[in-house]
Amino acid sequence: MAGFLSGIRSLYLSVYNWAVFYGWFQVLYLAIKTLKEYGHEQVYDAVERPLQLAQTAAILEILHSLVGLVRSPVSATLPQIASRLYVTWGILWSFPEARSHVLVSSLVISWSITEIIRYSFFGLKETFGAPPSWLLWLRYSTFLVLYPTGITSEVGLIYIALPYMKASEKYCLRMPNKWNFSFDYFYGAVLVLGIYVPGSPHLYTYMLGQRKKALSKAKTA
């Protein structure tokens, strides 16, 4: 019975990883093609749907961690996925004024290269038992550049959207109301920017530790 359940787990995770890999590959292809042919102003329109699907699918990874399907701790998985969902839906989808900025291109290229490597790594691991050594190195090394470029793009786009949040008052809740509660999306975004300050170095340090552990283990294997 245990072997059967283990097989079902591997099959599910294999299908999941390869499906999301395809989504991110599509994002990268469309981003580069559009950037080359039409310029950065058109990149978001080209990648919107596959970007939203691929990034939203990552919600399942939080569930995977919670139920023990994968070993990744929720404390590391949740902040990264939450911040990306916030930028995908709470910024780019909600405020079209930010979509034509060049930071959208650096964002989706950084995200998609990172995720193509990550999902192919785990897809091969679940399908064949182990990924090739070169992919292991890419999995634990490309973030050294792509994480800073991705985070810089996220923070930049949130900042760019701030004036439009304030002017539109979108998602704001004003008093009086039946809940006797008020909320200002603009100040919520400022708070999110504040969280990036300690959160980004913490996650980067965590990934450096994971890199050292993974590559050291690979050398002794």
Active site residues: 147, 154
Which candidate, 92, 71, 98, 124, places its Cα nearest to that of 27?
A: 92
Going from the C-alpha of 191 to that of each of 47, 88, 92, 158, 162, the distances in angstroms are: 28, 17, 18, 11, 12
**Kind and range of the H or E element at 22?**
helix 2-37
3-state secondary structure of 72: coil
Q: Cα angle vertex 59, ends 58, 61, to 5°? A: 70
3-state secondary structure of 67: helix
**Structure tokens of 36?**
């080359």
Q: Rounded to whole angstroms, how far apart are CA atoms 3 and 48?
A: 40
Q: Dihedral of CA 12/15/21/26: which sign? A: negative
Report residue 205: phi and psi, to 5°: -65, -40
